[in-house]
Structure 1
Amino acid sequence: MDTSPKPSKRRSPSAAAQAAARWYDTHAPLEKAKRWLWIFIRTVLIVGICFIILYPILTKLSIALRDKQDMFDATVVWLPRHFTLDNIKTVMDYLKYPESVTNTLLLSLGTALLQFASCALAGYGFARLKFWGSGILFGIVIFTIVVPPQTIMVPTYLHYRFFDIFGLFRLFTGKDGVNLLESFWPFFISSGLAMGLKNGLYIYIFRQFFRSLPKDLEEAAYVDGAGVPGTFLRVMLPNAVPAIATVVLFSFIWQWNDSYFVNLFAPNYTLLARMLDLLPGTVRPEYVGGISHTSLYLNTGTLLGILPIFILYLFAQKYFVESVERTGLVG
């Protein structure tokens, strides 16, 4: 009996498989070329957009490290011919940088926390508590977003220049009021009462987020005996972490970059207010050695002003992007 293995019979490839193989052999180089072309175009676009975004910062960094004589040298474009740190030292001394950064940090952080607390309460009230006239009040809140603050500059200034509560101070003392200017009290009072910088937008963010949460959470809390304050603090607020992160970051950054209210209430206290003194014609000659170099110090001061925000962005970028995405502000 023949037990030798028989040769296996191989099936010949079908016509469809042969056609697919011929198509792949013909079009594979073309598809690969298209893929690499798209990668190249995408890389060029990304690099170009990044350069456009980083160009002002790179320019200010280059100018901050230049010597005065490099400002009039047409051959110096990016790399300074005479590298120096004297500009940074001079501007830090002129701005009183540690003191200015500390004051700005305290002001921005304090207003951010107060705005978070007041706007969260207002947003929760508009989202969950139904009362007569709530729609009209919320319309007024939205209206405050589009009203320029310059339109109420004079009454706002006089309000904090002669600050009084229902005329009680004048009734008991006979004076017109308390002067709260040249301090941070106007910022803290307005932020604590949800009337600070961009508070209409923050109330809107909280309202939309609280409306998106299921009502079953509140109903379960009510069944367990929790009232409205307890439900807000123990149930709704812990679920509003994305909205809280968005409001706190927005508030902190906008307050840091604010120049209008700072110059109105507390000039020469914050970093940005002192940076305005670096504008041409305002810097003292003993610091700049002549008015022709004020642009050099203005760029250096701007670089020092955005440095803390840049460091904050490096650490908070992930949380900021996630919070904006979850609160529905994109798109």
Structure 2
Amino acid sequence: MSAKIPENEAVLLRYQRARNKGSEVLWSIFRYILILGISFVILLPVLKQISVAFKDPLDIYDPTIYMIPVNYTMENIRLAMNVLDYWPLLQNTMLFVISTTLLATASCALAGYGFARFTFPGSNVLFALVIMTILIPSSTLMVPMYLHFREFDVLGLVKLFTGKDGVNLLNTYWPSLITSGLAIGLKAGLFIYIFRQFFRGLPKEIEESALIDGAGGLRTFFTIMLPNAIPPIITVLLFSFVWQYNDTFYTSLFMSDSNLMAVKIASFPADVNQFLPRLLGIEGTEARADPNHVSMIVDTGILLAIAPLIILYLFVQRNFVESVERTGVVG
């Protein structure tokens, strides 16, 4: 026969269960309120820009209109696209960003594998220097990198054969392509760290089996290790794509005259002030557009600039979260 629980203990047990359940309910309510508050703070600027993009200029002078336009129009989007020359600009930006992203992912994966699996004299020192690149602000490297690519040379070969101090690679895509391909580009230290942490977590028996079968280091990496590194590859691809797309430091340093989204958005307000009167048919040497209308076009242009990233996130956010959980970022 099962022993009966004393009445006072049964009451105490029910009280503890009710208290625990109440604590869980309160924590759930607090958690949902916190998530809603953070989401509201993040999404409010985007919602305002979406609202502005479809507003008629008359709506901004109506104090009764806040978020939902009364007079819908696509004119703001059309004007912003004309000023930006949007589709050629987006095509050129995507080609550049995809190229640098693929180069950075490939080179950082190879470097991370080397740090994870090969021990050689000075390997710890080199990896410490990689970590230092994460900690050191990019602005401290601005001058040497600018001078290096203004007179770019490899082991003095250019000076040896041409007599010149080097080749000027500024205002070309080569500086970003070279740095991405050599794993020293934008956020490369972080990407190397992510790959190193992941490869260190894989069992060494896989490589030992490949070594017995006659595979070398590179063959093992490309045929065995890399196919198993899908989570860090997805993580680095997305991080690199977003950061390269939004980068203004390296693009303004190396490619100030290039046709890239980040460079155009930086000068977009001045371009709107210059071209908007002509697009609206306002003539005269002193012709100026309405400042409030200019602000609407600028907000619409910024929305068009971030639209590809929003669309990308909607399609890959689930894979991105899963890949981050399986990499060394949280481990």
TM range (shorter): 0.7 to 0.9
Q: Deviations over 1:155-192 (max 9, x none)?
A: 21122222221221222222332222222111110100
173-182 or 305-314: bigger deviation: 173-182
Query: CA offset at residue 210 of structure 1?
Result: 0.8
1:274 corresponds, among 264, 275, 299, to 264
Q: 1:324 & 1:154 partners in 2: Cα distance?
A: 34
Q: 1:45 & 1:150 partners in 2: Cα distance?
A: 35
2:191 corresponds, among 187, 202, 205, to 202
Counterpart of 1:215 in structure 2 is: 204
Counterpart of 1:73 in structure 2 is: 62
Counterpart of 1:233 in structure 2 is: 222
Q: 1:180 & 1:269 partners in 2: Cα distance?
A: 16
Q: 1:198 & 1:238 partners in 2: Cα distance?
A: 23
Counterpart of 2:134 in structure 1 is: 145
DSSP-derived class of the 1:237 partner? helix
35-44 or 286-295: bigger deviation: 35-44
1:110 corresponds, among 89, 94, 99, to 99
Q: Deviations over 1:178-215 (max 9, x none)?
A: 22222211111010011100000111111111111111
Counterpart of 2:326 in structure 1 is: 326
Counterpart of 1:123 in structure 2 is: 112
Query: CA offset at residue 24 of structure 1?
Result: 12
Query: CA offset at residue 15 of structure 1?
Result: 8.0
Q: Report if the CA contact (8 A) 1:278-1:297 is conserved.
A: no
Counterpart of 1:101 in structure 2 is: 90
Q: 1:33 & 1:143 partners in 2: Cα distance?
A: 48
Q: Report if the CA contact (8 A) 1:64-1:300 is conserved.
A: yes
Counterpart of 2:154 in structure 1 is: 165
The amino acid across from 1:183 in the alignment is: T
1:293-304 to 2 correspondences below 5 Å: 293=292, 294-304=294-304
Inter-CA distance 25–259: structure 2 relative to 1 (3 Å threshold)? closer
Q: Which has the larger radius of gyration?
A: 1
Q: Report if the CA contact (8 A) 1:127-1:211 is conserved.
A: yes
1:182 corresponds, among 149, 171, 186, to 171
Counterpart of 1:263 in structure 2 is: 252
Q: 1:147 & 1:137 partners in 2: Cα distance?
A: 15
2:312 paired with 1:312: yes
Q: Report if the CA contact (8 A) 1:62-1:78 is conserved.
A: yes
Length-normalised TM-score, structure 2: 0.86
Q: 1:248 & 1:130 partners in 2: Cα distance?
A: 27
Length-normalised TM-score, structure 1: 0.86
Q: 2:19 & 2:323 partners in 1: Cα distance?
A: 42
Inter-CA distance 160–42: structure 2 relative to 1 (3 Å threshold)? closer
The amino acid across from 2:103 in the alignment is: L
293-302 or 135-144: bigger deviation: 293-302
Query: CA offset at residue 285 of structure 1?
Result: 3.4
Q: Report if the CA contact (8 A) 2:46-2:303 is conserved.
A: yes
Q: 2:240 & 2:16 partners in 1: Cα distance?
A: 55
20-29 or 38-47: bigger deviation: 20-29
Counterpart of 1:86 in structure 2 is: 75
Q: Report if the CA contact (8 A) 2:83-2:271 is conserved.
A: no
DSSP-derived class of the 1:142 partner? helix
Inter-CA distance 107–28: structure 2 relative to 1 (3 Å threshold)? same
Q: 1:173 & 1:323 partners in 2: Cα distance?
A: 49
- Give the unaligned 5+ runs of structure 2: 278-287
Q: 1:171 & 1:232 partners in 2: Cα distance?
A: 37
25-34 or 146-155: bigger deviation: 25-34
Counterpart of 1:7 in structure 2 is: none
Query: CA offset at residue 16 of structure 1?
Result: 6.6
Cα RMSD between the aligned structures?
Answer: 2.8
Inter-CA distance 31–63: structure 2 relative to 1 (3 Å threshold)? same
State the percentage of identical aligned residues: 49
